Copies of this chain bind each other. A is one copy, B any other.
Amino acid sequence: MAEASVKPTPLLKDELDIVIPTIRNLDFLEMWRPFFEQYHLIIVQDGDPSKTIKVPEGFDYELYNRNDINRILGPKASCISFKDSACRCFGYMVSKKKYIFTIDDDCFVAKDPSNKDINALEQHIKNLLSPATPHFFNTLYDPYREGADFVRGYPFSLREGVPTAVSHGLWLNIPDYDAPTQLVKPRERNSRYVDAVLTIPKGALFPMCGMNLAFNRELIGPAMYFGLMGDGQPIGRYDDMWAGWCVKVICDHLGWGVKTGLPYIWHSKASNPFVNLKKEYKGIFWQEDLIPFFQSVVLPKDCTTVQKCYVELSKLVKEKLGPIDPYFIKLSESMVTWIEAWDELNPGGPAQK
């Protein structure tokens, strides 16, 4: 491995929160007990706040339902989605830790090809603590990994890499397909274990899935807004995508890296494709305009903090996407509300580039 990461993976137990959005009892945590029990959990309860969510004994957690969100954020609570797992981003906002790992409650521990349980969180920590290489592609993938390095032809000036802001993990069993693909291929399962972590090059966009995701909250937290989805909104299932596109554009601007690949989790159950189609169908049209929009975004040089970048991006959303649908006007306003709420709850001030 390249010199930068020759050290054991720290646990970061005082520096990392696990954020879980849910509407049900968290029995799935039993399987994760050996890996999660020493961490603090932030549970964001979606839907009916009068319902009681059971958390298995022995876990250290705080739980927020809709009443809590309304109480804490007041009128600014409007920026947090309801009846959609996009509500999870409230957990990012109330955390006080440097790192966040977020996972869906239908995701279980996967096995590697040697049949060993995969400690997903440990791999995310490795990914976040080692640099990223967005400025030049390394054909042997992550150069900081044991047994790998930079190959011939990789410029030496780029080998220090850049800070890693995001670690995007993948899914065995049920792949993260859209409704049309689910409908066409109801039986497709992902059984391919690809033993790689790679940095998504600067300038390239990707579909960021929120199912198994970790990030450096101190660096990129204020851009991890999952948008307006679900109840009262014309769209769902684009929360993580929206966040991913915003985050990637801002990471590219500020010189930070986004990694994808390992770790895998076991995604147990496909959501209903008919319900999904209803949530997605406007998004399927809109994304044809969203991608060229995000590909063309150029942030001004004086945007030196994530907050400044994000507010600037919100203006571009209003100006360029507003004409597509009034939803984007509302979304752009919520983006600003989100930043205001973030700064209220996190008064320490933003990380500078």
- The interface residues of chain B lying within 8 Å CB-to-CB of A195 are 192-195
A196→B201 CA distance, assembly (Å): 17
Give the contacts of A145-166 with B (CB-CB under 8 A).
147-158
Query: How far does the alpha carbon of A163 sit from the alpha carbon of B302 in the complex, in Å?
Result: 39
Query: Does A141 lie within 8 Å of B194, measured CB to CB?
Result: yes
Indicate if the CB atoms of A136 and B181 lie closer than 8 Å. no
Determine the chain B residues whose CB is within 8 A of the CB of A244 once the complex forms. 153
Q: Of the candidates B139, B208, B260, B280, which one forms a contact with A209 in the assembled complex, judged by CB atoms under 8 Å apart?
A: B139
Q: Is the CB of B209 within 8 A of A151?
A: yes
Q: Quick check: is A318 within 8 A (CB to CB) of the other chain? A: no
A178-233, CB < 8 A from B:
178, 180-181, 185, 188-196, 198, 200-209
A175 touches B288 (CB 8 A): no
- Across the interface, name the chain B residue whose C-beta is closest to A171: B140
Q: Which residues on the B side are within 8 Å of A188 (C-beta)? A: 147, 149
Q: Is chain A's interface secondary structure helix, strand, loop, or mixed overall?
A: loop
Question: A137 an interface residue at 8 Å Cβ cutoff?
Answer: yes
CB distance from A172 to the nearest CB of B (A): 11
The answer for the CA separation of A238 and B151 in the assembled complex, in Å, is 12
**Bound-complex Cα distance A147 to B189 (A):** 7
B207 near A139: Cβ-Cβ < 8 Å:
yes
Instruction: Kindly list chain B residues whose C-beta atoms are within 8 Å of the C-beta of A151.
Output: 175-178, 207, 209
* Contact indicator A190/B140 (Cβ below 8 Å): yes
Residue tally, chain A, CB below 8 Å to B? 59
Contact B140–A152 (Cβ < 8 Å): no
Q: A150 contacts B203, CB within 8 Å?
A: no
CA distance A240 to B260 in the complex (A): 28
A sample of 5 more A-B contacts (CB under 8 A), given A154-B207, A193-B195, A194-B194, is A136-B204, A139-B206, A148-B192, A152-B207, A192-B195
Residues of A that sit less than 8 Å from B by CB? 113, 136-141, 147-158, 168, 170, 175-178, 180-181, 185, 188-196, 198, 200-209, 237-238, 240-241, 244, 260, 280, 284, 287-288, 291
CB-based closest 9 A-B pairs = A153-B207, A201-B204, A137-B206, A153-B241, A203-B203, A152-B178, A194-B196, A155-B291, A152-B176
Q: What are 30 of the A-B contact pairs (CB < 8 Å)?
A: A136-B204, A136-B207, A138-B206, A139-B170, A147-B192, A149-B175, A150-B181, A151-B207, A152-B176, A152-B178, A152-B181, A152-B241, A153-B178, A153-B207, A153-B209, A153-B240, A153-B244, A154-B178, A155-B288, A155-B291, A156-B284, A156-B288, A193-B195, A194-B194, A194-B196, A201-B204, A202-B204, A203-B203, A203-B204, A204-B204
